[in-house]
Each structure stands twice: as structure tokens, then as C-alpha cells.
Amino acid sequence: MKKKYLTKSLWLIIAALLVVSCSKEDGVMDSSSRSDKLEVSFNFFEKSISEIESRAGTADVAQAASPWITRADTDGKKNLSECKQITELEVALFPEDKDTMYLVTQFSTDKNFGQVKLYVPRGNYKMVAIAAATDNPSKDNKVSIKSKTEVVFPKNEVKDMFYTYQDIAVKDREKSQNYDCILKRGVTVLQLNCREEPCPDYMKSFKYTITGNCGNVFNPSTGHCLKQATLTKTYDISDDRFTAKRFSFTIYFFLGADDVSDITLTTQSTDTEDKVVKSLSFENVHMVKGKMTIYKGPFLSTHSAASFIIDSPTIPNSGFGTEFE
């Protein structure tokens, strides 16, 4: 009889442990349960996100041959659901002095996108919120908030993104638990614009490499890259849809500071016989967080005399420009 009671008690202990272990996965706590928790609501707005629309007659290889330009926003702050290029929202609350977090994921197809409710215990929290223009976001293809200091993009390919990092105090039930949160752009943007130069039919690929005080992993607590990294990507431009077309390459990444001027950019064009037909190198590229710098010139053509214009227009103007041959 005693053995029977011991066996029963053991199973009860195991069941209790299973309940506790299932309440969190990889440090993510359950924010949907209302038991012994307080409701806290967030409405996410932006004041700097500009709509992105198509530019006729061009193709942006970085966006699968879809061209983009940025139109200035003059309407003040907007609800996140109105910003059509934002496709996902990740919100994490980190309890004070703990390594766990309460996490909510929303996609732009969800109802009330940009309005988030969580049920958490009373206390002080750090909130990290990331709104991103991820291509076709899903459970397996989305931004991942790893901690208060680390945010990773799918395949480490950064897209346009906006964030907030702030203190949240969850108080008694009778207190207002509704927060309006303004998001700001966390990336810098470098566009390589081929201007009027059509893509030659003998071109196979285009490769860029970016080094310096920059990276592709975001640290919300600083608003900069978590660590420096070499950024590189090769585009296949041999497809017929690129031949004789003018296009640009738009590159999003994070800086190690708000204003950085030690970036080095190298590009390499390869023909259908895998021969490098053109290599270019640019030092001291000046980049600013939240702004775009454009390098315009013949990145693909092989004629000897070539002039380049460095411009810094929309998203918005960084104020730096130069022309060289």
C-alpha cells in the first residue's frame, strides 16, 4: 500500500514538473493566459516610415527585380497597419532581473496589426519591438528577438526595419495599462544605382562586399549593430529579365554608431564565362543611421572612362555627396 502511494506521489511530482517546463520554451513565457496576470496593451505608430512604391522602367535586383523608391511621409504618425511595406511585428517584454521574456508575433495579414495585448505579472519590464519588411514572413521566416541585445534576421539578410526599446511598468489593475509606442528606423541604406546603364547580355553575376563599423545583427539596447561583420552577397543577373534593363541594388544593414565614415565598399562583375570583367573599390563611404546613401555610376559596363556620383537622397537625405571619375 505504501509503495502504491509513493508511486502515485511520484507521478504527481512528474506531472507538476511537466506543467512548469511547458510554461516556457527557450525562455519565452506564456503571455496569453490571464490567470493572476494583468493586461497591458500597446499601439505601435511610426513617424518616419515612408511608403515604398514602384519606379517604372527600373529593376532592383535586391528585391527580386522589383524597383523601389521612397516617398516622404507628411501625414505625421500612422498606425502600423497603414504602413504597407511593414510585414511583421515582434514584441518582447523582459522582466527586470530575469533572463525570460514574454513574446508576441504579428504579421501584416493579422487582424488589428500593430495593436498588441499581453498578460503579464505586475512589475517592471524592458520592451523590445521590431517592425520589419520581411519578405513573405512566416513562423519559420521572421525576425527573431533573442535577447535585449540581439535581434537576428532570416538568413542574416537585413530588411528595412523600425524599433523601440523602452521601460514598461505594469501596475495595478485599476491603472491604465495602454501604451502608445513610436517606432524609429534602425537601419542605414546603401543603394548602388547603375543609372542609365543597361545590363549587358554577357553578364552573369554582381557581387558586393561591405566592411567597416557595420554588421547584420541588431542590438536594440544601443540602436546599433551587435558586432562588426563583413557583409557580402552575389546576385545572379544572367536571367533574360535583367538583360538590357537598368536596375539598382538596395542594401540594408546596421551601423556601429549613428554616423560612420569608415565603410569600405567593393563590387565585382562576372561574365558568363566566370571571368571578372569589372572590379571597383570605394573607401570612406559615409553612412548615417536612418538615412540612405546612393552611389550612381556604371557598375557593370567595361569602358575605361567612367564617372560616379555619390548621392544621398530619400530615407531621407544624409547630406553627403561627391563626384569622381
| Model pLDDT for residues 125-180, shown as the tens digit of each residue | 999 999 999 999 999 999 999 999 999 999 999 999 999 999 999 987 766 688 88
With a CB cutoff of 8 Å and minimum separation 6, the contacts of 186 are 161, 162, 163, 218, 223, 254, 289, 290
What is the SS3 assignment for 287?
strand
Residue 40, C-alpha cell as written in the block: 497591458
φ and ψ at residue 257, rounded to 5 degrees: -155, 170
> Where do the CATH 2.60.40 domains begin and end in the chain?
27-185, 188-324
Residue 147, C-alpha cell as written in the block: 535577447
Predicted confidence at residue 71, as pLDDT, reads 32
CATH for 27-185 (2.60.40, 2.40.160, 1.10.286, 3.30.43): 2.60.40
Is the pLDDT at 245 greater than 70? The verdict is no
Which residues are 21's β-sheet partners? none
Instruction: For residue 35, count other CB atoms closer than 10 A to its CB.
Output: 6
Instruction: For residue 233, count other CB atoms closer than 10 A to its CB.
Output: 14
State in Å, rounded, how far the first CA of the chain is from the last one: 93
Instruction: Quote the Cα angle for 158-52-113, to 5°.
Output: 75
Is the pLDDT at 37 greater than 70? The verdict is yes
Whether the CB-CB separation of 131 and 81 falls below 8 Å is answered with no
Structural fold of domain 188-324: Immunoglobulin-like (2.60.40)
CA–CA separation, 179 vs 68, rounded Å?
33
Predicted confidence at residue 28, as pLDDT, reads 67
Please give the mean pLDDT across all residues of the chain: 78
With a CB cutoff of 8 Å and minimum separation 6, the contacts of 228 are 212, 213, 214, 215, 256
Predicted confidence at residue 1, as pLDDT, reads 52
Instruction: For residue 230, count other CB atoms closer than 10 A to its CB.
Output: 12
DSSP 2: H
Instruction: Quote the Cα angle for 270-276-280, to 5°.
Output: 95
